[in-house]
Amino acid sequence: MSTDIRLSPGDTIGILGGGQLGRMLSLAAASLGLKTHIFCPDLNSPAFEVANAFTVAPYEDVAALEVFASACSVVTYEFENVPGPTAALLADRLPVRPGVKALEVSQDRFHEKEFLRSAGVQIADYATVDSDQDLTAALQDFGGEGVLKTRRFGYDGKGQVMIRAAADAVGAFDKIGRAPAVLERLIPFDREVSVIVCRDVDGNCDAYDVAENHHEHHILKTSTVPANVSAATAAKAREMAISIASSLEYVGVMGVEMFLSGSGENEVLLVNEIAPRVHNSGHWTEDACLTSQFEQHMRAVAGWQMGSCTRHSDVVMENLIGADCERWPQILSEGNARLHLYGKEEARPGRKMGHVNRLSPKSE
């Protein structure tokens, strides 16, 4: 499909996936006078409530996808595991942004690493693992340590085994279901940072300030901006993210996670992974910037000019996970906090229910 389609206000953006990211994308689109149509198999999708239209069907339902395609001017997605045939079917009919290539790369850790290396950014050493013998060989190369990760469908720490000693390696390949995997060299990193980068259909790129992320139980808990990194490292992180988006000929917003080790002049950045969508570690942009990542993504996907990534305030974003959301009355009483809830009914453990952005005057 033509890559230069540009929408007008009133046109419809299709979104694959109906979770909180789709919901926040729909809200951002509505502020711009754009319509959204959500496609999601789950009848209780939070995004349905705020979209102009929605389709409840499996991602493999060809007839439903064809009706969906005919109702939209362009399609985007809120999750990277869109089935390949689904993306291909849609891409035959209308522009799929950020792009099919971004999906292919991010759905397979090995392809992702090969791509990142080709894009010239630094990443941890890695080796493919398709058998116990592969694992043994790779561990020997990496000093007996490493993180074993399935190539596909891993998120929030799922499909991963940490190997720090010989005993950890026993049965490790079984633990991930003997699925095709990669072993990553263990990086003694101090911090995780991320950059939200955006690119428009004309190839213009920009990036938000670097966020410093803290995880609990493998789930993002807080993102703090500005990150406590040197100016040189901050600039380097943004450059790396922009370089990745450019190499992918990406259209929209992407999250780039990086490991940071050392300090001061010895800070070293390694890209961990990319997420070809709006990203949890970019939720702070909604209240600390004039243009949020959600608006930025909708603008880029619509073929519109992007807004400024400038930040007007310092901010700490806290995820409200499971029962955390019961603290909403206290959060409302905090003068510098803005509460975001996703409209999910059941607060299951580990489920992302909302987030809160706490602002303070800009420090730099």
Residues 6+ apart with CB under 8 A from 301: 13, 74, 76, 97, 98, 251, 252
204 contributes a contact to a second copy by CB under 8 A: no
Q: CB-wise, 111 or 338, nearer to a second copy?
A: 338
341 contributes a contact to a second copy by CB under 8 A: yes
> How far is residue 152 from each of residues 82, 146, 176, measured CA to CA in Å?
12, 18, 11
38 contributes a contact to a second copy by CB under 8 A: no
Query: Minimum distance from CB of 352 to a second copy (Å)?
Result: 13
Residues 6+ apart with CB under 8 A from 277: 21, 76, 77, 78, 79, 80, 98, 252, 253, 254, 255, 297
Query: Minimum distance from CB of 155 to a second copy (Å)?
Result: 24
Binding mask 9-28 for a second copy (x = CB under 8 A): xx------------x--xx-
338 contributes a contact to a second copy by CB under 8 A: yes
Query: Minimum distance from CB of 287 to a second copy (Å)?
Result: 6
User: Of 65, 114, 109, 56, whose CA–CA distance to 87 is shortest?
Assistant: 65
Q: CB-wise, 103 or 289, nearer to a second copy?
A: 289
Among the listed ranges 66-74, 216-224, 274-282, 284-292, the one in contact with a second copy (CB under 8 A) is: 284-292
Q: Output DSSP code: residue 306.
A: P
Chain residues 79-108 in contact with a second copy, contact rule CB under 8 A: none
Which member of 277, 283, 299, 352 binds a second copy (CB under 8 A)? 299
77 contributes a contact to a second copy by CB under 8 A: no
Query: Minimum distance from CB of 7 to a second copy (Å)?
Result: 11
Half-sphere exposure of 254 (CA within 13 A, CB side): 34
50 contributes a contact to a second copy by CB under 8 A: yes
- C-alpha 258/C-alpha 195 separation (Å) is 8
| Radius of gyration in angstroms for the set of CA atoms belonging to the chain, rounded to a whole number | 20
Burial category of 64 from C-beta neighbours within 10 Å (exposed 0-12, middle 13-18, buried 19 and up) = middle
290 contributes a contact to a second copy by CB under 8 A: yes
User: Of 229, 214, 207, whose CA–CA distance to 316 is shortest?
Assistant: 214
Which member of 25, 35, 107, 151 binds a second copy (CB under 8 A)? 35
Binding mask 306-325 for a second copy (x = CB under 8 A): -xx-x-xx-----------x
Chain residues 52-71 in contact with a second copy, contact rule CB under 8 A: 52
Query: Minimum distance from CB of 290 to a second copy (Å)?
Result: 5
Q: CB-wise, 177 or 361, nearer to a second copy?
A: 361
User: Of 250, 242, 264, whose CA–CA distance to 121 is shortest?
Assistant: 242
Which member of 85, 232, 305, 348 binds a second copy (CB under 8 A)? 305
Q: Output DSSP code: residue 290.
A: S
Query: Which tokens hold the place of 112?
Result: 């992702």
Which member of 112, 273, 287, 324 binds a second copy (CB under 8 A)? 287
Contact 286/314 with Cβ under 8 angstroms? no
Which member of 30, 56, 64, 137 binds a second copy (CB under 8 A)? 30
Three-state SS for 25? helix
Binding site for a second copy (CB under 8 A): 9-10, 23, 26-27, 30-33, 35, 49-50, 52, 287, 290-291, 299, 304-305, 307-308, 310, 312-313, 325, 328-329, 332-333, 335-336, 338-343, 345, 354, 359, 361
